[in-house]
Structures are given as C-alpha cells and as structure tokens.
Amino acid sequence: MKRLWVSAFLLVLLLSLCSIGSYTASASSSSLTVQLNRLKSEIHQGNTSTALAISQNLQRQWELEHRRLCTFMPHDDLAPIGETLSELPALIRSEEIGLLESRCDLANALLEQLAEGETLTLDNLL
C-alpha cells in the first residue's frame, strides 16, 4: 500500500512540475513576443534610438527568462533564441532593416515553438 501512495505522490509531483514548466515557457514566450512586436513597430516608425533601447532590454529580459527556462528544458533548445536576440542591436546600429525584421520574425517563431513544445498535450507527453 505504501508503494501505491508513493507512486501517486510522484505522479502528482511530476504533473505539477510539468504544469509549472509549461506555464513558465508560455509566459516567457508571450512577454518576449510583445517586446519583439514593439521593436518592429518602432523600426517601422523610424525610431531607431527607441528600438535600440528595446533590443537591449530584450537581451536583459532574455537572460532572466533563460535562467528560469533552463530549469525545465534543455539548454540546446534555448540557445538559438539567445543568439537571434543578441544580433538585434547590431542590426539596428547598422540600419539593416530587412535583416532585422527577418531576425525578429525568426525569434518570434522560435519563441512560439518553445511555448508549443512545452504545452501539456498528448503528443508532447508521448
């Protein structure tokens, strides 16, 4: 009977950790996506100084989110997002608007993939 209780406890613990990881990935993805969309909006309006500040803020925010996300998922899944976000300030300074927009779209796609990959669905569990 003790084994059954221990198994039930471990199941509840595992599902709780999965739920927390899914929520963390979704919240981080949403927050960063909002900032990326704001960055693109500022670039379209011609506010490069504001866009540069947003891109630098994105990097700082990513560093904080990265620490939390590493608790729940492999570092290799997070590395491309950090690399893409780190390119944005340099692209703004060099005024490579087309490449900047494509990197923002890539970062958005990677963040969306991150959130979808951690969603508690039958496909992700199996």
* Amino acid code (one letter) for 10: L
What integer pLDDT is reported at residue 125 of this predicted model? Answer: 60
* Amino acid code (one letter) for 14: L
pTM: 0.82
Using alpha carbons, select from 47, 56, 46 the residue that is nearest to residue 90: 56
Q: Where are the alpha helices (DSSP H) in 46-96?
A: 48-69, 75-93
Domain ranges of the chain: 27-112
109, 110, 114, 119: CA torsion to nearest 10: 10
Residue 94 exposure: Cα atoms within 13 Å on the Cβ side? 9
**Rounded average pLDDT per 10-residue block, the chain, 126 residues:** 89 87 88 93 90 93 90 85 92 90 93 81 66
